[in-house]
Homo-oligomer: A and B are copies of this chain.
Amino acid sequence: MYPQTMPRNSWYMAAFRDEITREPFARTIQNIPLVFYRLQDGRAVALLDQCIHRQMPLSLGYIENDNIRCCYHGLVFGPNGQCVEIPSQESVPALAKVQTFQVVEQDGLLWIWIGDPEKADPANIPPCPWLNSPDWVGATGILHMNSRAQLLNENLLDLSHVEFLHPGSIGASKLSSFPITVDADEKSIRVTRIMDDIECPALFKKAMDLPDRIRRTQTAEWFAPGFHVTHIGASPVGADDEDQFRHKALHWVTPETDTSTHYFWALYRNYRLEDDEGLTQMLRDAHHAVFCQDVDACEAIELALQRYGQDSPPYVNIKVDNGSLKSRRQIESMLREENI
């Protein structure tokens, strides 16, 4: 069955760069309420969003220089979590310290480590070069999902639902009948489907002005526990350049609680790069609609899981679940490693 919890000793995408400012910003990740803000030099910090005195959310307070002041009794905490002022008394107990969390900003994304601090290695944060490259342009979005994170991981590693869940946009007839190949190492998985000659979906026509039949390639690549790159290629059948039009659909799946998830996404393209806000907006809207269908599917399944608890009727796996099931095994193995 789908794991409900996710590993803790992992980097999770916490926010897009612009979300974190000089105002307190609250977001719960892995059941932990967090407050984020930027220091005067621009660095981002993350603290437990709870005053050590009376449990008041610090995110309701005020940023003062590099510190945050609780709105209830005015206690002030530094970016390292240490309390530096209690307005009603002279002394501050050394123990008066709020928990902090390591964050790293890379490629315009803020990543957070909520597990054992000694195991945090920023070198393990997956790069997202497309976000900052002159050769790519695109749009981003955030969705909130009332389902466990793994349901979305499995959705994204499964290329076959595209035909049925997304008709009228990226779905195409017979798509599911093309074979997939799956390739995995310890913490990543790649599922590839090459469609040499297939119907051109509605959205591709609109964006790339392609003919009725195209060559289409799709590789869903996953880096455990929650980062996905869907590599998408399209070209007229028989074209010299087999991947004339390319998309990178990026997905960051970050657990909010055991049954809710932050779904960050980006959709970048390698064509019509300049000065085409209209195309960018159209692709943003179209993919927002597509990803909402995925969210709806995960939420419907989560409701079914919660209705049945442990007594769910038996279910059946099919061949194209190969990639999804491998990701489930990897998550389970990571959880075992952490004794969760």
Interface residues of A (CB under 8 A from B): 31, 33, 48, 50, 52-57, 60, 69-75, 83, 86-89, 93, 95-96, 99, 158, 160-161, 163-165, 176-177, 180, 297, 300-301, 304-305, 307, 312-320
Contacts and interface: CB of A to CB of B under 8 A. Distances in A.
B52 A316 contact: yes
Copies in the complex: 3
Given A300-B56, A305-B55, A176 B73 contact: yes
Nearest to A89: B319
Given A33-B307, A87-B176, A176-B88, A52 B313 contact: yes
Contacts of A56: 297, 300-301, 304
Given A86-B318, A88-B160, 9 more contacts: A53-B315, A53-B317, A57-B304, A71-B164, A72-B297, A73-B158, A73-B164, A74-B163, A99-B313
B176 A74 contact: yes
Contacts of A72: 161, 164-165, 297
15 contacts: A33-B304, A48-B313, A52-B316, A53-B317, A56-B300, A69-B164, A72-B164, A72-B165, A73-B161, A74-B163, A83-B316, A87-B177, A88-B177, A89-B319, A95-B316
Q: What are the nearest 6 A-B pairs in CB distance?
A: A87-B176, A74-B164, A55-B304, A88-B176, A88-B320, A88-B160
Contacts of A315: 52-55
Contacts of A73: 158, 160-161, 164, 176, 318, 320
Contacts of A57: 300, 304
Contacts of A95: 316
A216 to B, nearest CB: 16
A304 B56 CA distance: 8
A198 to B, nearest CB: 14
A165 B71 contact: yes
Contacts of A158: 73
Contacts of A50: 304, 313
A253 B161 CA distance: 39
B87 A316 contact: no
